[in-house]
Amino acid sequence: MSNRVETDVVIIGAGPVGLFAVFELGLLGLNAHVLDVLDKPGGQCAELYPEKPIYDIPAWPVISGKDLTDRLLEQIKPFLPTFHFNDLVTGIEGSVEKGFTLSTECGKTFFTKVVVIAAGGGSFQPKRPSIPGIAGFNGTSVFYAVRERETFRGKDLLIVGGGDSALDWCLNLQPIAKRVTLVHRRDNFRAVPNSVSKMKTLVRQGKMDFIVGQVSKLCGTGGQLQSAVIKTKEDAIEMTCDRLLPFFGLTMKLGPVSDWDLELDGNQIKVDTATFSTSKPGIFSIGDINTYPGKLKLILSGFHEGALMAHAAKALTHPEERVVLQYTTSSKNLHKKLGVA
Amino acid sequence: MKLIVTDIDKTLHEVDFKEDDILMHVLRDANMGILAECGGSCVCATCHVYVDQEWLSKLDGIGDDEEDMLDEAYEPNGNSRLSCQIQLSESHDGIKLTIGPKWD
Ligand SMILES: Cc1cc2nc3c(=O)[nH]c(=O)nc-3n(C[C@H](O)[C@H](O)[C@H](O)COP(=O)(O)OP(=O)(O)OC[C@H]3O[C@@H](n4cnc5c(N)ncnc54)[C@H](O)[C@@H]3O)c2cc1C
Ligand code: FES
């Protein structure tokens, strides 16, 4: 994929609300690129509660977070959205007259007529422990995600956590690392039982180590980690290691949203409820990230906001056209767009 | 009825509560520095508190979901609980607790 993209709309956030906006925009002939810092679509529904039931989606007496995401993906498929995952939108420049330029952490640039901020509770970021001295090792010896597996070849790794990420990376990196030590606060795991038993087998075979404890201190110089102190029930042990991989799950950070010069109310973007426009024309905001009198942070409210936003975005980008409301049930034009004609 | 809360800056607060209140809601509404990102669904661990030893046994036992989720709390120990999983009653009047440390 080229690093320069031109499009009608960029949607920031692939949560349920960002996904449904693809549909509403698509009905009006606007094509969208969708970005998310997560590695998958679904936002909170996918990251926080894929298996939990939701009972207040109209016409779905009960649906899980994962199923809702899958259904939305199926519904928006005819509109061919392009997804860009694992990337954070950092900058928005421009105006409705000249168009907007978006930049991302991975160095992509998007040229777009309108921007839709559907950033939910903020961008999902790894939970970072504030172990004394850790900041000096971030990006050189401490990593919260594995982007290139090969960079861990021959390294002495300390992996921390008890969920799927921690266990998966233990198993995945063990064959190429010099040594892998898993540190977790207890001898019970949230990770799927199959990975846990594989890890325990490796420990029994002497191919990796497991310590019940918590990392309390890091030692090293010039960004190069040399050892870590692990507090166990009985005492504290110092272990040599040159890479630390903490996996404590994700937390939502407002992040760059606050740098985009939009009128905010606390951590929320203020919008006009007729158009869901922010204080900057051409930049819209829908879903959990926005606020207005009476706002309810519900998925169904976000869907409604997406429909109104799409009509306003169409009117803004195509002032010469009269935007008419058509029903998906009967409109031949919409049937063509939906691929059911 | 009152909670005695030590916040992240070690300042002591007395916070009122009513029968059947959820501890997380009480702490959040009193701005005690609880994030409670998932709104009480036991999937975020950002409502972590340490309950004073003498009060621990007065609470209902910890569930498997809560124990699992404590893995994602910062520096959990034997006194750790997720405040969204605790329903308060008369027997908790005067309970002492400390707000858990934050992730960066
Ligand atoms: C446990 C739980 C249960 C819930 N139950 C219900 C329920 O029963 N009914 C209901 O209606 N609602 C429920 N909710 C709330 C519902 O999940 C949210 O209202 C909904 O997810 C909001 O959707 P969204 O698309 O606005 O944002 P989100 O789902 O938060 O998605 C936003 C996405 O934007 C991404 N993002 C943010 N900033 C950036 C950036 N700068 N660059 C790239 N990506 C970015 C984030 O990574 C995220 O994936 C529940 C929430 C939780 C946590
Ligand atoms: S509020 Fe999320 S676990 Fe308690």
CATH code for the domain of A111: 3.50.50.60
- For residues A116 and A264, membership in a common domain is answered with yes
A130 to chain B: closest CA residue = B104
pLDDT of residue A1 exceeding 70, the answer is: no
Separation of A287 CA from ligand 1 center, angstroms? 8
The percent of residues in chain A predicted with pLDDT above 90, rounded, is 92
The pLDDT-based confidence of A47 (bands split at 50, 70, 90) is very high
CA of A121 to the centre of ligand 2 (A): 14
- Residues A21 and A133 both lie in one domain: no
CA distance A220 to A17: 45
Is B49 inside any structural domain? Answer: yes
Backbone region of residue A107 per phi and psi (left: phi > 0; alpha: psi in -120 to 50; beta: other values)? left
- Please report which confidence band the pLDDT of residue B65 belongs to, taking 50, 70 and 90 as the band edges: very high
CATH of the domain at B40: 3.10.20.30
Verify that A193 and A110 share a domain, yes or no. no
The percent of residues above 70 in pLDDT, for chain A, comes to 99
A116 plus A158 within the same structural domain: no
Asked if residue A218 and residue A142 are part of one domain, the reply reads yes
Tally of domains in chain A: 2
Q: Do A238 and A290 fall within a single domain? A: no
Binned at pLDDT 50, 70 and 90, residue A341 comes out as: confident
User: Is a pLDDT exceeding 80 seen at residue B60?
Assistant: yes
Of A189, A213, A248, the one marking the end of a domain is A248
Last-in-domain residue among A195, A222, A248: A248
Q: Which of A186, A190, A252 sits opposite B37 (nearest CB)?
A: A252
User: Which pLDDT band holds residue A2 (cuts at 50, 70, 90)?
Assistant: low
Number of domains in chain B: 1
Q: Work out the average pLDDT over A299-308.
A: 98
Residues A135 and A237 in one domain: yes
Contact A248 B71 (CB under 8 A): yes
Check whether residue A242 and residue A182 sit in a common domain.
yes
- Same domain? A274 vs A331: yes
pLDDT (mean) for A304-312: 98
* Same structural domain, A219 and A280: no
Model confidence pLDDT, tens digit, residues A260-298: 999 999 889 999 999 999 999 999 999 999 999 999 999
Average pLDDT of the residues of chain A = 95
CA-CA distance, A305 to A287, in Å (whole number)?
7
Rounded CA-CA distance A274/A250 in Å is 34
**Residue A323 structural domain:** 4-124+251-338
Residue B60 lies in a domain: yes
The closest-lying atom of ligand 1 relative to the alpha carbon of residue A300 is: 11
| Domain match, A113 and A149 both | no
Ligand 2 centre and the CA of B72: distance in Å? 11
How far is it, in rounded angstroms, from Cα B22 to Cα B19?
Answer: 9
Domain housing B14? 2-99
Q: Which of A84, A254, A258, A299 to mutate to test the pocket of ligand 1 (most atoms within 8 A of CB)?
A: A299
CB–CB contact A129 B104 (8 Å):
yes
Answer yes or no: is the C-beta of A19 below 6 A from any ligand 1 atom: no
Q: What is the DSSP string of A176-197?
A: TSSEEEEEESSS--SS-HHHHH
Does B103 sit within 8 Å of A248, measured CB to CB?
yes
Question: Does one domain contain both A226 and A333?
Answer: no
